[in-house]
A = this chain, B = another copy of it.
Amino acid sequence: MTREVVLAISGGVGGAKLAVGLQGILDPGALGVIVNTGDDFEHLGLAISPDVDTTLYTLAGVANPATGWGRAQESWVFMQELARLGGESWFQLGDKDLALHIERTRRLTAGETLSHITAEVAHRLGVSSHILPMSDASVRTMLMTDEGELAFQDYFVRRRCEPRVREIHFAGAAAAQATPAALAWLDRADLTAIVICPSNPYLSIDPILAIAEWRRALELARVPVIAVSPVIGGEAVKGPTAKIMRELNLTVTNATIARHYASLIDGLLIDSADAVEAGAIGVPVHETSILMRTGEDKERVAAETLAFARSLA
């Protein structure tokens, strides 16, 4: 255990792996996670926040270990019945998961903020870390593709990331503000590092950076900002990161990731498989195995990330 206090910047499944590793090695309450809400959408009349929920379930230890999203030991009675009634069933909502969507929607409608609801649900689920939605305002990740403009979930779930991506933008980001409670983490005297998790930089981290306050906060951070690369050996560990990079005419390398985060990061964790790249990356790198399969992997990568940050402080 270490007395460090860490702020992570994260999307969903990939980012939550590192977040749970950080949680495992830090004191209870010493981790804050700024979470992407650009994937949020309304479905069946319910307000759904996929990345917030993945983070919540992962840090609570109740996430489905096979998929990374949704609940462990989930049942699908509702979904089967909805299909029988002719309802939309392309977005899977398990019976346990549904409780969160219904309760959140009810509370949002009653005027509570996403941040407040998330904090209370996290407390109910026994999570000591602070899960901080990037904003309480609506920001929506929109993809301009060869099939026209698609909202994130239409692209990601309904169309299984198949359309070619030409451009990505974040509707509402210009007007969105970070919450004061989340921003206050940057001013904490005991903050020791900021970690950009190995989420998709274009789909999961960029929505956060599209909010001016967050970009500026990272640029001006008084502590080292370390990114863990989402790329290993020219491929993404999971998801459409590499496909999107190619469609945006970017080489799938750590150098591209480092350039993407250029004014923000002080160091990049890359995989040992990419050691040959190290000299050409342009920021300090730390090489290790960054693939996180087991709980031990996650805590080891988390620990190496923090040690790397200390070495740059």
Contact = CB atoms under 8 A, between A and B. Distances in A.
A105 B101 CA distance: 15
Nearest to A47: B45
Given A84-B124, A109-B45, A120-B86, A77 B103 contact: no
A283 interface: no
A102 B79 CA distance: 11
A45 B105 contact: yes
Interface stretch (A91-99, A221-229, A266-274): A91-99
Contact of A99 (B85, B100, B121): B85
A84 B109 contact: no
B45 A85 contact: no
A96 B124 contact: no
Contacts of A100: 81, 85
Interface string A169-181: 0000000000000
Interface string A64-91: 0000000000010111011011110000
Contact of A84 (B75, B81, B99, B106): B99
A24 to B, nearest CB: 23
A77 to B, nearest CB: 4
A44 interface: yes
A87 B109 contact: no
Contacts of A75: 75, 77, 95
A186 B2 CA distance: 79
Bin the interface of chain A by size.
Answer: 20 to 34
Nearest to A75: B77
Nearest to A105: B45
B95 A81 contact: yes
B78 A96 contact: yes
Contacts of A87: 99, 102-103, 106
Contacts of A99: 78-79, 81-82, 84-85, 87
Interface string A11-47: 0000000000000000000000000000000001110
Given A44-B102, A85-B99, A87-B103, 11 more contacts: A44-B103, A45-B105, A45-B106, A46-B102, A77-B77, A77-B95, A78-B98, A78-B99, A85-B121, A86-B120, A98-B98
Interface of A: 44-46, 75, 77-79, 81-82, 84-87, 95-96, 98-100, 102-103, 105-106, 109, 120-121, 124-125
18 contacts: A44-B102, A45-B45, A75-B75, A75-B77, A77-B95, A78-B98, A81-B95, A81-B98, A81-B100, A82-B99, A82-B103, A84-B124, A85-B121, A85-B124, A86-B120, A86-B124, A87-B103, A95-B95
